[in-house]
Amino acid sequence: MSEDLAPEPLLDPSLVETTLRVALAKGGEWAELFAEDRQSASSSFDEGRVDSMSSSRDRGVGIRVTVGEITGFAHTSDLSSEGLKEAAEVAASAATSSSRTTAVALNGDGLASTRVKMLPNLVSKESKVALLRRADEAARSAGGSISQVTVGYSEGRRRILVANTAGIFRADDQVRTLFSVNCVATGDQGLQTGRETVGYTVGYELFEENDVAALAERAANRAITKLRARPAPSGELPVVIKNGGGGVLFHEACGHGLEADLVKKGASVFKDRIGQQVASPLVTLIDDGTMGVEWGALGIDDEGAFTRSNTLIENGVLTDYMWDHLRSKDAGRVPSGNGRRQSYQHLPMVRMTNTFVTNGETEPADVISDTTHGVYVAQLGGGQVNTATGDFVFGMTEAYLIENGEITEPLREGNLIGNGPEVLKNIDVIANDFAMGSPGTCGKDGQGVPVGDGQPTLRVSALTVGGTAA
């Protein structure tokens, strides 16, 4: 039986109004209150036993006051009227020292709701341990070369309230559940790893549609397959990226450069390029915070703006950036639902939600058969990106050689080296098999937030592969 979690405000509206009036009392032009109640739990299973189990809860409020380009910010875990008053005064003092009285009127037009079948915190620890044990056993049964299995489970519920002196009074209730399996296989040439992760903005019903044993078997088989891997080639080659396996490339190498705060700082290669052709005409890139139950889905962002689907690149033409409150105000724009923060202790900034390349028209098998020689990347790992230039290095955690239009031998882990804008221009075919990738956490300026990314199978006509083959 599903349950609509219609969030009740974390604070009484009258207390919020009073706090915002205090925040403006010294001459502030605009003030915001962000309240958060976060609960989380996690457990891991390693070497055939429960390795750790933990849970936490954190509640607090962040208050922001702006005057022109100046921002004052303070946060507190004291949710009493006195605690909120003190935080509001600190934020106000940091922004201005003048004095005035301002009326504040709030409206509750946006109490978002999350549809959850089963709240994870209501499920017994024994049931969760049974899931961990089942995945461990399935991974180990895949073959004697599996020498280590680590299984992890985590859950989180985040209730937020956002109110500001423009009248916004909105709440959201976000539930996320995650499960991962990491396997190590040992062979004559050393160790190889395989990992599988599943996670959505849902409750414990995640496991009604996702079999943890099958997940574990895929992780184990990936590690075993890589034991016979040959060295990756080196040099510039056509690279085919499997659907869902390379969304992180577009997130990092292109997405961050389309965040309006980096654009304003001049730290983006896409600055002043709205309306210009920046990618192959095949490429349409979207950021969508409303995307079903995907990992980056939100009802509202952390500034109270409703999330939406934002087309960033359309048929290769740069159409827009992502906006938060401050940057959209400066540019005379409407916030795009991309103002996000790690917690009430942090200021918001422009962040992605679910970022993806849309479908093309080609059959995925035809993308492979049309590639005489190249590399097939099934899964990308972490990397480094310079948003000002677009230069990047990404690890290939699962890759294969393409020979005469067929996927052949697995390759040892190597790197993809290139430039984001150049990759966008060099995409010469996109398949019709769109898929989202694994859930992720995006780091920026010391803050981490949940995000999703994805893409169909596609080919980059020329990309530098940093392998070790002679």
pTM flag (> 0.85): yes
Position 6 confidence tier, pLDDT thresholds 50, 70, 90: low
Give the position of tokens 């990491």: 182
pLDDT above 90: residue 190: no
Query: What number of CA atoms fall less than 13 Å from residue 235's CA on the CB side?
Result: 6
Using one digit for the tens of pLDDT, what is the confidence trace for 195-227?
Answer: 999 999 999 999 999 999 999 999 999 999 999
Q: What phi and psi values does residue 144 have, to the nearest 5 degrees?
A: -65, -15
Q: Could you identify the residue written with the tokens 């209501």?
A: 122
Does the domain spanning 3-228 belong to CATH 3.30.2290.10? Answer: yes
Contact in structure between 401 and 375 (CB atoms under 8 Å): yes
Q: Residue 235 CB: number of other CB atoms within 10 A?
A: 10
- Among 58-62, 97-101, 182-186, 437-441, name the one with the lowest average pLDDT: 97-101
What is 190-259 written as a DSSP string?
EEEEEEEEEEESS-TTHHHH--HHHHHHHHHHHHHHGGGPBPPP-EEEEEEE-TTTSHHHHIIIIIGGGB
Q: Is 444 left (phi over 0), alpha (psi -120 to 50) or beta?
A: beta
Does 347 have pLDDT greater than 90? yes
Give 190 or 327, the one with higher predicted confidence.
327
pLDDT tens figures, 277-304 = 999 999 999 999 999 999 999 999 999 9
What is the mean predicted confidence (pLDDT) over 409-431? 94
Does the pLDDT of residue 5 top 70, yes or no? no
Write down the pLDDT at residue 154: 98
Q: How far apart are CA 224 and CA 185, in angstroms?
A: 6
Short-list 84, 113, 105, 114, CA closest to 169: 105
* Burial group, residue 181, by CB count within 10 angstroms (0-12, 13-18, 19+): buried
CATH 3.30.2290.10 residue spans of the chain: 3-228
Is residue 385 scored above 80 in pLDDT?
yes
Helices (H) and strands (E) counted in the chain, each on its own, are 10, 25
Query: How far is Cα 239 from Cα 422, in angstroms, rounded to an integer?
Result: 13
pLDDT of residue 3: 54
What pLDDT sits at residue 1?
A: 42
Considering only the C-alpha atoms of the chain, give the largest distance between any 2 of them, rounded to a whole number of Å.
Answer: 75
In tens, the pLDDT along 86-125 reads 999 999 999 876 555 444 555 655 555 567 899 999 999 9
Instruction: Output DSSP code: residue 122.
Output: G
Percent of the chain past pLDDT 70, that is, above it, reads: 94
